[in-house]
Amino acid sequence: MARRKLPRFEYNSQSENVIERGKELYTTIKGKWREKYFKNGNPIVLELACGKGEYTVGLAQVYPNKNFIGIDIKGDRIARGSKRANDLLLKNVAFLRTPMVFLEEFFEENEVDEIWLIHPDPQPRDKEERKRLTNPKYLNLFNKILKIDGLFFFKTDNFPLFEYSLITIPKEFEILRQTTDLYNSELINEHFGIETHYEKLFVSKGYKINYLAAKSLKKG
List, by residue number, the catalytic residues. 121
Phi/psi at 218 (nearest 5 deg)?
-60, 145
Q: For residues 117-128, give the mean pLDDT.
A: 94
- Count, in order, helices (H) and strands (E) of the chain: 6, 8
| 48-107 confidence digits (pLDDT tens) | 999 999 999 999 999 999 999 999 999 999 999 999 999 999 999 999 999 999 999 999
For residue 156, give Cα distances in angstroms to 37, 78, 89, 100, 121. 31, 20, 29, 18, 9
Q: For residues 8-37, give the mean pLDDT.
A: 94
This prediction's pTM: 0.95
- The domains of the chain, with CATH numbers, are 2-216 (3.40.50.150)
State whether residue 10 is helix, strand or coil. Answer: helix
Share of the chain above pLDDT 90, in %: 85
| 171-217 confidence digits (pLDDT tens) | 999 999 999 999 999 999 998 889 888 898 888 999 999 999 999 99
- DSSP annotation of 132: S
CA 53 to chain centre: 8
Distance CA 103, CA 138 (A): 10
Is pLDDT at 220 greater than 70 in this prediction?
no
Per-residue confidence (pLDDT) for residue 42, from 0 to 100:
98
Q: How confident is the model at residue 11 (pLDDT cuts 50, 70, 90)?
A: confident
C-alpha closest to that of 91 among 75, 114, 67: 67
| 130-146 confidence digits (pLDDT tens) | 999 999 999 999 999 99
Share of the chain above pLDDT 70, in %: 97
